A and B are shown apart, each in its own frame.
Chain A
Amino acid sequence: MKTVYYTCPFVPKELIAACGLLPMRSVPALQADIRIEGMCSYAAAWLEELEQRVDSGEDFIAVFSTACDQMRRAFDLYHQSEQSSFLLNVPSMTTENSFRYYVQELRRLEQFLCSISGETPDWRRNCRQTANKVELTRPNKAIAITGGPLNSMIYKSIERLLSEGAAGVVFDATEGALTPELVGIDAAGENDPLEAIARIYFELPAIWRRPNNSYYQWMAQACNAAGADAIILVRHVFCDLWHGQGPELSKRLSVPVLELNVDGQGELPVAAVSRIEAFLEALG
Chain B
Amino acid sequence: MKMPPEQITLEQWDKRYPLLKAQGLQERFYGGPLGRHAEYGDTRLRSLKLDNSPAALALWNLLLSENERLHRARAEGRKIVGTMKDLGTVPVLADCFKNVTAFYPDGAWWTPCLMEQNEGLFESASQYGFDESFCPVRAMVGAFINGEHFPIPDALICSTGAICDDVSAITQKLVQLGFAMHWWEMPRRRMPDEGEESALLPCGWKAPRVQVEFVQAELAGVKSVLEALTGRQLVTKDLRRGIQRANGFRRILNELRLLVYTADPCPMGSLEMLAAEMLALHYCSDYTEATLVLEALLDEVGERLLAATGVLAADTARVFWVNPPADLRAMNLLEECGGRVCGTEYLFAHTLAEIREDIEPLEALARTALADPMVGSTHERAEYICRQAVRFGAEGVVISRIGGASHCAVEGRVIGQAVRDALEIPVVETEIQTLCDSADSQLRTRLEALVENIKQRRSS
Contacts of A275 in B (CB 8 A): none
Q: Report the separation of the CA atoms of residues A274 and B92 in the bound assembly, to the nearest whole angstrom.
A: 53
User: Judging by beta carbons under 8 Å apart, are A92 and B130 in contact?
Assistant: no
User: Judging by beta carbons under 8 Å apart, are B169 and A244 in contact?
Assistant: yes
- Which of B129, B162, B181 touches A246 (beta carbons < 8 Å)? B129
User: Judging by beta carbons under 8 Å apart, are A248 and B176 in contact?
Assistant: yes
Task: Give the interface centre of B165, B214, B401, B407 by most chain A CB atoms within 10 Å.
Answer: B165
Residue of A nearest to B129 (CB): A247
Residue A97 interfacial (CB < 8 Å):
yes
Residue of B nearest to A74 (CB): B410
Map CB proximity to B onto A29-45 as digits: 1 under 8 Å, 0 otherwise.
Answer: 00000001111100000
Contacts of A222 in B (CB 8 A): none
Residue B166 interfacial (CB < 8 Å):
yes
B324: min CB distance to chain A, Å: 17
User: Judging by beta carbons under 8 Å apart, are A76 and B379 in contact?
Assistant: yes
User: Judging by beta carbons under 8 Å apart, are B409 and A211 in contact?
Assistant: no
Contacts of B379 in A (CB 8 A): 76, 79-80
Map CB proximity to B onto A76-89 as digits: 1 under 8 Å, 0 otherwise.
Answer: 11011000000101
Q: Spot the interface stretch: B185-193, B254-262, B388-396.
A: B185-193
User: Judging by beta carbons under 8 Å apart, are A92 and B168 in contact?
Assistant: yes
Contacts of B128 in A (CB 8 A): 247
Known: A69-B406, A79-B379. A93 touches B183 (CB 8 A): yes
User: Judging by beta carbons under 8 Å apart, are A38 and B408 in contact?
Assistant: yes
Contacts of B187 in A (CB 8 A): 66, 89, 91, 101
Q: Report the separation of the CA atoms of residues A73 and B188 in the bound assembly, to the nearest whole angstrom.
A: 11
Contacts of A25 in B (CB 8 A): none
Residue B173 interfacial (CB < 8 Å):
yes
Map CB proximity to A onto B99-135 as digits: 1 under 8 Å, 0 otherwise.
Answer: 0000000000000000000000000000011100110
Contacts of A39 in B (CB 8 A): 409-410
- Which of B160, B166, B183, B193 touches A240 (beta carbons < 8 Å)? B166
Map CB proximity to B onto A41-74 as digits: 1 under 8 Å, 0 otherwise.
Answer: 0000000000000000000000000101110111
How many residues of A are in contact with the other chain, CB < 8 A? Answer: 43
Contacts of B168 in A (CB 8 A): 69, 92, 208, 210, 240-241
User: Judging by beta carbons under 8 Å apart, are A69 and B411 in contact?
Assistant: no
Known: A210-B172, A240-B169. A76 touches B134 (CB 8 A): no
Known: A69-B407, A210-B168. A93 touches B377 (CB 8 A): no
- Which of B173, B176, B181, B409 touches A36 (beta carbons < 8 Å)? B409
> Which residues A7-47 have CB closer than 8 A to chain B?
36-40
Known: A92-B168, A211-B172, A244-B169. A38 touches B405 (CB 8 A): yes
Known: A69-B407, A73-B411, A77-B410. A101 touches B214 (CB 8 A): yes
Q: Could you give 12 example pairs across A and B, Cβ below 8 Å?
A: A38-B403, A38-B408, A68-B406, A69-B164, A70-B406, A77-B414, A89-B190, A91-B185, A210-B172, A240-B166, A240-B168, A241-B168
Closest 10 pairs (CB-CB, A-B): A244-B169, A38-B409, A73-B410, A240-B165, A76-B378, A69-B406, A39-B409, A210-B160, A69-B165, A240-B169
B residues whose Cβ falls under 8 Å from a Cβ of A = 128-130, 133-134, 160-166, 168-173, 175-176, 181, 183-185, 187-188, 190, 193, 210, 214, 217-218, 221, 377-379, 401, 403-411, 413-414, 431
Q: Given A76-B379, A245-B172, 18 more contacts at CB 8 Å?
A: A66-B162, A73-B411, A76-B378, A77-B414, A93-B183, A95-B185, A97-B221, A98-B185, A210-B168, A211-B172, A237-B133, A241-B169, A243-B129, A243-B169, A244-B130, A244-B169, A245-B169, A246-B129
